Structures are given as structure tokens and as C-alpha cells.
Amino acid sequence: MSNIKKELFSGVFYTAVAKYSGIVISLAVTAVLSRLLSPDDFGIVAIATVIISFFSIFTDMGIGAAVIQNKELTPKDLSSLYSFTLWSGISISLLFFMASWPIAAWYNSPILRTLCQLLSINLLFASANIVPNALISKNKEFKFIAWRSFIIQTSTGILAIGAALAGAGLYALIVNPILSSIFIFIISYRKYPQKVSFTWGLHSVKKIFSYSAYQFLFNVINYFSRNLDKLLIGKYMNMSQLGYYEKSYRLMMLPLQNITQVITPVMHPIFSDYQKDLDQLATSYEKIIRFLAFIGLPLSMFLFFGAREITLIIFGDQWMPSVPVFQILSLSVGIQIILSSSGSIFQAAGDTRSLFICGVFSSALNVTGMLIGIFVFGTLEALATCICITFLINFIQCYLQMYYVTLQKRKIVLIGKQLLSPLLLSALIFIALQATSIYADKMPILVSITIKGIVFIVIFGCYIQYTKEYDLIGKLKRKLKR
């Protein structure tokens, strides 16, 4: 158990250093571009990004996760898998390039064709990076990943701002994804170079097929679960509405990505070593659930009451229509932060079949919610509400599947015990911020968000200290003595 803690802490630490140091760059880039470009521009690029993410599923096909999980792959197998991802990546990149014409015609946007053609470069390098990148994670080289992420995020962010200031327009929005994929491939390949053969390497693909197939199918259905809303808004509403929704969704995803993506990339490589000891795996994971719940659930409350100020500070006045949508979506942040970690446990336990089953149910429910929100109610607020409801239902079904199938009938009440205290803390924060907002909302936005932030931190800190969840005062005293 101590070895798990040590490896997990080390991995989370280095990932967090890179992730959080890059937040400043990311917010700076977003703030600049949001003031230089229109909601229509962001809507068009959102469509291109959503579509390319679908094609990228077929470049990976679950191979990256399978390479991490399988401990018996030989160097020859890895070279064969690398060749497979390279040739399939070239094929899919060409297919995406050719599909740019019908995509542009469907959305009646000629510039979308050029964007898709340029982004096809992203597909090529991302596919070539699958095996080298998986080997870096498999060998738990989290410090290397952290430095790579920080350097690339910083450099591409600066280049994107430079492009926007130079008058590149909406093309500045694709500078980051294209250059990031190229730089990541170059660095990763130099770390773990692979031999290329002029075969598809199917004999090695068969070794991981039973694992990667379900992972691939999950990725496909999860794509529609996460992105169909944007595709439908762009087609049946308008690009401005999509721009507002995309900004709301991106703000909602910001804490989700910068919290869970610090922990979940570390979980699979470490927990896969304990795939034959499900009790130890589950016990360790429940501590992570409690930790994520204490972060995510109270944070949802703060984002709900601070939505107006956050939107104005980061994006500016022209993005005010996105505030109500962001408020609604923020209520799902806590649930999503916990839920996003579940995939690593399904993977580590070798049960990608259950991951696929959960994905099917989740996608069907999410798609139903999206269709109701868009075609029955026809507003972004209704769509956001439907999405929040589906996330809650998906949370329940996912952990029922995990505890009764993957973890072999482990008591589901053990999760409830981990969530009870964080839920109580969230309720206290909700009450306090509700009362605070009556007065703070009348003040300048910087003053208002500062007051709300102080109230949030004080209640959070006092609760954590009083319940002895974490001895903040004792920790501070020990620091001062040193």
C-alpha cells in the first residue's frame, strides 16, 4: 500500500506542477483570443475540433491503454503496433482531408473546409505518438511528462497569441493543437524511438485486441456522448449560440481537466500493477474518491455563484449570454470530477467490457438528454439542464456496474460513506454563498469574486479542520517550526 501511495504522490506531484503552471498560460491565451475573435469564430473552430476528435478515435483504437496494461509485449510487438498506428494514421488523415468538402457543405461554411484540412496534420502526428507516449506512461516517467507538457503548452500558447495579434483571425485558434501534436511526437519519439515496418503488424494487434476492442468501442460512444450537443447546435441553432455554449462548456471543463487530468493519467499505470488484487485496488480508489469529492462538490457551488464574475474577467462583456449556461453546467462539475476517474479503474482491473457497457448506457442517456434539450425546449439553458441530469444518472449506474461486476460485488455503501461529508460541506458553502451573493453581486466584479472566494475558502478550511479531515493548523505549525 505504501508503494502505491509513494508512486501515486510522485506522479500526481509532477503532473500537477506542469498542469497548474500551464493554467496561467492557458487562461492568458483564452483571455486574449476571446477579445480578438467573435463567438462565430469560436463556433466554427469548435465544429472542426469536435469532428477531428471523432476521426482521432480511429487512430488510437484503444492501443495506447492496451500498451500500458499489457506487461508481456516484446520490442517487436511494440514496433509492429507503432507501424499499425502510423499507417492507419496516414490513412485516416487523408480521409479527414477529403471529408473536409462535405463537412463544409453540411454546415454551409467554406472556411470550415480549410480548417479541417489544416487539422488533418494533427491527426497524423497524434497517431504516430500513440505507442511512444504510452511507453512513457507505462514506465511511470511522470516528471518527464510534466516538463514536456509545460514546455509545449507555454510555447504553443505564446505562438497562438502572436498569431492572433498578427491578424491570423480564427486560424490562431488551431495553432495550439497542430503545433502541440508535432512537438509532443518529436519529444516522445526521441525518448522511445520505434522501428517502422511496411506491414500493418496485425499479429501484434491480435495480442491486445480483446482489451483494446472494448476500449475503442467505449471511445466511440463516449465521443457522441460528449460532442453531439455541439454538432447539433452548430447545425440547428447558429454559430453564435455554439460559441456561447462552447465557452460555457469550456469553463465547466477547466476545473475538471485541471484536477482529474492531474490524477487519472497516473492512476492507470500505477493501479494496473494490482490488477489481480481487487480489494487493494478498491480500497486505494475509495480514498481517491473521497479526495476528489472534497474538491469537486464544494467547487461546484463556488462556480455556480461566481459564474458571472469568472466569465466577465476571462472573456469580457460580449460573452455574457454564456453565464446562465455556465451556472447550470457548473452544478455537474463535482460529479464529473469523481466520475472521470472511474475509467482508470475499469482499465486497471482489465475490465474494459464493463467500461464499454457503462459507455453505452451513458451515451444513450446523454444523447436523449441532448435531443430533448435542443429539439423539445430549444434553448441552451434547457440543454445544460438535461446534461446535468444525465450526468447524475450516469454516475449512479457507473458505480453500480463497477462495484457489482468489476470489483466482484463489493458493497456499494462504501462509496456513500466517502461522499457523505463532502456533500455536507457543499451544502454549507451553498447556504453561505447564497447569502453573500445578495450583497456581493452589487459590487464591482473583482470585489465580488474576491468576497465570494474568501467565504468559500474560510468555510472550506474551517470544515476540513473541524472534522479533522486534514489538520491544516497542525501542518502550518510544523512548517513554522522548521
Q: Picking from 33-47, 180-194, 302-316, 348-362, which range would have the lowest pLDDT averaged per residue?
A: 33-47
pLDDT of residue 482: 60
pLDDT at 2 over 60: no
Do residues 203 and 267 both lie within one domain?
no
Do both 197 and 280 map to the same domain?
no
What pLDDT is stored for residue 63 in this prediction? 82
Domain match, 151 and 260 both: no
Mean pLDDT of 371-386: 92
Residue 229 lies in a domain: no
Query: pLDDT band at 449, cuts 50/70/90?
Result: very high
Same domain? 147 vs 63: yes
Q: Lowest-confidence range among 13-17, 239-243, 370-374? A: 13-17
Distances (CA, A) of 447 to 31, 149, 251, 441: 19, 34, 21, 9
Q: 248 versus 472: which is more confidently predicted?
A: 248
Quick check: 12 pLDDT over 60? no
pLDDT-derived band at 300, boundaries 50, 70, 90: very high
Predicted confidence (pLDDT) per residue in 233-272, tens digit: 888 887 788 888 888 887 887 777 667 666 776 677 777 7
Q: Side-chain half-sphere of 370: how many Cα atoms within 13 Å?
A: 18
Contact 403, 413 (CB under 8 A): no
pLDDT band at residue 419 using 50, 70 and 90 as cut-offs: very high
304 belongs to a structural domain: yes
Nearest to 83 by CA among 184, 205, 204, 197: 197
Q: Residue 94: which pLDDT band, with cuts at 50, 70 and 90?
A: very high
Comparing 110 with 274, which gets the higher pLDDT? 110
In a domain, 5, yes or no: no
Q: For residue 302, is pLDDT > 90?
A: yes
CA dist., res. 361 & res. 218, Å (int): 11
Whether 14 is covered by a domain: the verdict is: no
Of residues 307 and 36, the one with the higher pLDDT is 307
pLDDT of amino acid 22: 60
Do 51 and 198 fall into the same domain? yes
The grid coordinates of residue 376 equal 423539445
Q: How many domains does the chain have?
A: 2
Confidence band (pLDDT; 50, 70, 90) for 107? confident
pLDDT for the residue numbered 408: 82
User: CA-based diameter of the chain, in Å?
Assistant: 68
- State which of 190, 209, 228 marks the end of a domain: 209
What's the whole-model pTM score?
Answer: 0.70
Question: Bigger pLDDT: 473 or 340?
Answer: 340
Residues 199 and 251 in one domain: no
Whether 407 is covered by a domain: the verdict is yes
Instruction: Note whether 190 and 151 are same-domain residues.
Output: yes
Domain range holding 42?
A: 37-209
Do the domain assignments include residue 2?
A: no
Domain assignment present for residue 17? The answer is no
Note whether 265 and 338 are same-domain residues: yes
What single string gives the DSSP state of each residue in 123-188?
HHHHHHTHHHHHHHHHTT-HHHHHHHHHHHHHHHHHHHHHHHHTT-GGGGGGHHHHHHHHHHHHHH
Both 184 and 311 in a single domain? no
Do 169 and 268 have their domain in common? no
The verdict on residue 190 lying in a domain is yes
Q: Domain ends where: 193, 209, 225? A: 209
- Tens digits of per-residue pLDDT, 219-236? 788 787 778 888 888 888
CA distance 189 to 43: 34
270 and 202 within one domain: no
**Is residue 293 scored above 90 in pLDDT?**
yes
Q: What percent of the chain has pLDDT over 90?
A: 29
**Residue 429: predicted pLDDT:** 96
Give 479's pLDDT tier (boundaries 50, 70, 90). low
Pair (245, 205) in one structural domain: no
